[in-house]
Structure 1
Amino acid sequence: MKDVLHFVFGIFGNATALFLFLSPIVTFRRIIKRKSTEVFSGIPYNMTMLNCLLSAWYGLPFISPDNLLVSTINGTGALIEAIYVLIFLIFAPKKARKLFCGIAAAIFSICMYASPLSIMRLVIKTKSVEYMPFLLSLFVFLCGTSWFIYGLLGHDPFVTVPNGCGSVLGAMQLILYAIYRKNNGKAATNCHSNGDSLKMNDVKPAQIYELNGEQV
């Protein structure tokens, strides 16, 4: 009975989500007809597309078993939202198009630079830099700093803000590396041998760490 209800509500969720994704059609018919986005915002469609892509990935059988219905509807949603984003970019005024693309790029850049935060937490917890590559941290800092200065000189906040965040996060990684570089692998081994274990939610999905020959 539980499996039946799970399937039924999955189908119902697919149907309602499809109507949700199709509901802006009226808005985009107006945009195409008037050849202008007027004061409509394109950011929700961009964010929805990103959400759909990630959700579709999550629902794949080798990631999350018994969630195929999540992948089917979100894969469809990603395609629909991509069409909306394309239409918006075609008919958006130059200034609005720049704002739309700039905000979206800034958000994605900040997310990219923030992705090592889980590893930084792991470094602090284990007092080891074994799983935080030095070269990656170094070039995160150098890349973020370079583009931060570039954005400052060009008076472009969409380049300055996310890369400023990247520069700060890169610097934090290098500081952690300087503090714990001599403990490379040792503290993590001690943590495991003392009976302390690392929870899987402390690291990124699909990462497997081995301590003392055992999988955590």
Structure 2
Amino acid sequence: MISATIIRTIVGVIGNIISLILFLSPAKTFVRICKKGSVEQFSAMPYLATMFNCGMWILYGLPMFHPKAILVLTINGSGFAIEVVFLILYLVYSDSRKQRLQVGAIMAGELGFVALVGLMVGTLVKTVKVRTTIIGSVCMVGCFLMYAAPLSVMRLVIRTKSVKYMPFLLSLFSFLNALCWASYALIGQFDPYLLAPNGLGLLLGTAQLILYATYFKSSKAQETELPVKQNKSEVGLVPIAVDAKKSPSPRV
């Protein structure tokens, strides 16, 4: 019979794979941003929250804070590096100086906070158990922020009845990631610091998938109707009939 420890390790490895896919899932969005040269209405909050979350879980996975959390350390180290790259691209293609300053200031604040917490807990707290409690508690807050960050995007989806700015892969793998790590927290060695935020993430991930299913058709309808509306507008501006075959394509 397979022991709970082995099952937990297997679930943790699967969690690492799913988390890596989750961290990489916005790559398509950033390819679009780079091609268009603009972040459009995409929000930086999910990436800022994820970077902070990964930074705190890196601390949690270090042997001096939690000696049995190597799987947590490896995936969050990878996730942290990925989010930094995404945020640098966001800064490069931001549409305004104010936007760059805001995102840059939040990034600097998050990095400074993670470093300060690690330094203070590592030097002032003497026992590993208390260190785990303190870091784990802050990690829960970071994880809550990561899963709650898409709430602003969900509100935009409801208001516009369009899922254009809520990437499906990000929503799907947020759900799968929360499901996997909530299971990991329940198997063998119970971990409340992993269970609480990932339980919430499971609920929010489910809500995002429901929204996507609800507004996907209306999003497609909006994209289909857009060229028609543009053509009507162009006809209204032109006082004479123009042969569509001979007319040059409008510059965008």
- TM-score scaled by structure 2? 0.42
Q: Greater relative contact order: 1 or 2 (C-alpha under 8 angstroms, separation 6 or more)?
A: 2
- TM-score scaled by structure 1? 0.48
